[in-house]
Structure 1
Amino acid sequence: MKQIIKLSMLTVIFFLIVGCQNNPERKPNILWLVAEDQSQYFFPFYGDNSVNLPNISELLKNGTVFEGMNSSYPVCAPARSAIITGMYPNSIGTGNMRALKGNTKKRSAKEASLGIPYYSSKLAENIKPFTQILRENGYYCTNNSKRDYNFYLRDEAWDESSNKASWEKRKDDQPFFSVFNFNVTHESAMWQRDKEELKVNPKNLKVPPVFPNDSISRHSLAINYSNLVEMDRQMGLIIDKLKDQGLYENTYIFFYSDHGGPFPRHKRAIYETGTKVPLIIKFPSVIKPEEKRNSDMLNFIDFAPTILSIVGGIDIPKIYQGKAFLGSRKNKNKREYLFTASDRFDEHPDRIRAVKNKRFKYIKNYNLNKPHALPVAYRNQMALMQHLNRLNESDLLSKQQKLWFQIPKSQEEFYDLENDPFELNNLIDEKKYSDDIKNLKIQLENWMDEIKDLGHLSEKELVEYVTK
Structure 2
Amino acid sequence: MSAKKNILLMVADDLGKQLGCYGASTIKTPNIDRLAGESTQFEYAFASTASCSGSRSVIYTGLHTHQNGQYGLASHRHHFVTFDHVETAPKLLKQAGYRTGILGKIHVGPAAVYPWEVTRESETRDVAVISDQANEFFLESKQDGRPFFLTIGFHDPHRDRTRGGFGNDQEYDPRIQKGSYKADSVEVPPFINDSPGARFELAEYYNSIHRLDQGIGFVLNALEGTGLAESTLVIFISDNGPPFINSKTTLFDAGVRLPLIIKHPEIRPVSNSDMVSYIDILPTLLDYVGHPGAVDPAKKRLGRSLLPILGIDGKASERNQVFGSHTFHEVTNYWPTRFIRDRRYKYHRNLAWRLDFPFAADIYGSLSWEDIRNSPDSEIMIGERKLKDYFFRASEELYDLENDPNEVVNLVKSPTHAAVLDDLRAHLETWQRRTEDPWLYRDGVSTWFVRYHAQSGLRIPDRLDFDAERPGNQDQKAVGNLAWGSDVELATSSTE
TM-score by length of 1: 0.80
Given the alignment, which residue of 343, 364, 368 partners 2:353? Answer: 368
**SS, match of residue 58 in structure 2:** helix
Shift, 1:155, TM fit: 6.2
Shift, 1:126, TM fit: 0.7
Task: Name 2:90's counterpart in structure 1.
Answer: 131
Shift, 1:273, TM fit: 0.7
**Shift in CA distance, 32/257, structure 1 to aligned 2, threshold 3 Å:** same
Cα distance per residue 1:380-430 (max 9 Å; x no partner): 222112222223897443793324654531121111112222212222222
Task: Return the letter of the residue paired with 1:48.
Answer: A
Task: Name 1:10's counterpart in structure 2.
Answer: none
Shift, 1:433, TM fit: 1.7
Counterpart mapping for 1:172-191 below 5 A: 172-188=144-160, 191=164
**Shift in CA distance, 130/345, structure 1 to aligned 2, threshold 3 Å:** closer
Q: Distance in 2 between matches of 1:424 and 1:328?
A: 33
**SS, match of residue 285 in structure 2:** helix
1:55 equivalent to 2:63? Answer: no
**SS, match of residue 439 in structure 1:** helix
TM-score by length of 2: 0.76
Task: Name 2:267's counterpart in structure 1.
Answer: 288
Q: Return 244-253 or 319-328, whichever deviates more.
A: 319-328
Task: Name 2:334's counterpart in structure 1.
Answer: 349
1:415 equivalent to 2:399? Answer: yes
Note the residue ranges of structure 1 that are not aligned, 5 or more in a row. Answer: 1-23, 108-117, 463-468
1:433 equivalent to 2:417? Answer: yes
1:74 equivalent to 2:50? Answer: yes
Shift, 1:293, TM fit: 1.0
Q: Distance in 2 between matches of 1:443 and 1:92?
A: 21
Task: Name 2:9's counterpart in structure 1.
Answer: 32
**Shift in CA distance, 251/454, structure 1 to aligned 2, threshold 3 Å:** same
Contact 1:310-1:328 within 8 A present in 2 as well: no
**Shift in CA distance, 428/392, structure 1 to aligned 2, threshold 3 Å:** farther
**Shift in CA distance, 184/329, structure 1 to aligned 2, threshold 3 Å:** closer
Q: Normalized per residue, which structure has more helix? A: 1
Contact 1:64-1:292 within 8 A present in 2 as well: yes
Contact 2:158-2:243 within 8 A present in 1 as well: yes
Task: Name 2:189's counterpart in structure 1.
Answer: 208
**SS, match of residue 247 in structure 2:** coil
**SS, match of residue 413 in structure 1:** strand
Q: Distance in 1 between matches of 2:383 and 2:166?
A: 31
Cα distance per residue 1:306-340 (max 9 Å; x no partner): 0011122534232322211115999x984332111
1:142 equivalent to 2:101? Answer: yes
**SS, match of residue 386 in structure 2:** helix
Q: Distance in 1 between matches of 2:250 and 2:404?
A: 16
Task: Name 2:297's counterpart in structure 1.
Answer: 318
Contact 1:371-1:404 within 8 A present in 2 as well: no
Task: Name 2:368's counterpart in structure 1.
Answer: 384
**SS, match of residue 379 in structure 1:** helix
Q: Distance in 1 between matches of 2:291 and 2:361?
A: 47
Counterpart mapping for 1:100-115 below 5 A: 100-101=74-75, 104=77, 107=78
Contact 1:140-1:167 within 8 A present in 2 as well: no
**Shift in CA distance, 60/211, structure 1 to aligned 2, threshold 3 Å:** closer
Q: Distance in 2 between matches of 1:249 and 1:76?
A: 31
Q: Distance in 1 between matches of 2:166 and 2:341?
A: 36
Shift, 1:157, TM fit: 2.6
Q: Distance in 2 between matches of 1:309 and 1:158?
A: 20
Task: Return the letter of the residue paired with 1:239.
Answer: L
Task: Name 1:169's counterpart in structure 2.
Answer: 140
Counterpart mapping for 1:192-231 below 5 A: 192-193=165-166, 196=169, 199-231=180-212
Cα distance per residue 1:155-197 (max 9 Å; x no partner): 6731111145733332444221111111120133773447747
Task: Name 1:8's counterpart in structure 2.
Answer: none
**Shift in CA distance, 394/153, structure 1 to aligned 2, threshold 3 Å:** farther
**Shift in CA distance, 211/128, structure 1 to aligned 2, threshold 3 Å:** closer
Contact 1:90-1:341 within 8 A present in 2 as well: yes
Q: Return 430-439 or 310-319, whichever deviates more.
A: 310-319
**SS, match of residue 294 in structure 1:** strand
**Shift in CA distance, 404/276, structure 1 to aligned 2, threshold 3 Å:** farther
**Shift in CA distance, 404/240, structure 1 to aligned 2, threshold 3 Å:** farther
**SS, match of residue 371 in structure 2:** helix
**Shift in CA distance, 234/408, structure 1 to aligned 2, threshold 3 Å:** closer
Note the residue ranges of structure 2 that are not aligned, 5 or more in a row. Answer: 122-132, 170-177, 450-496
**SS, match of residue 153 in structure 2:** strand
Q: Distance in 1 between matches of 2:166 and 2:89?
A: 35
Shift, 1:35, TM fit: 0.9
Task: Return the letter of the residue paired with 1:37.
Answer: D
Cα distance per residue 1:95-137 (max 9 Å; x no partner): 2x23x436x3xx4xxxxxxxxxx5545xx32122122222222
Given the alignment, which residue of 35, 43, 49 partners 2:19? Answer: 43
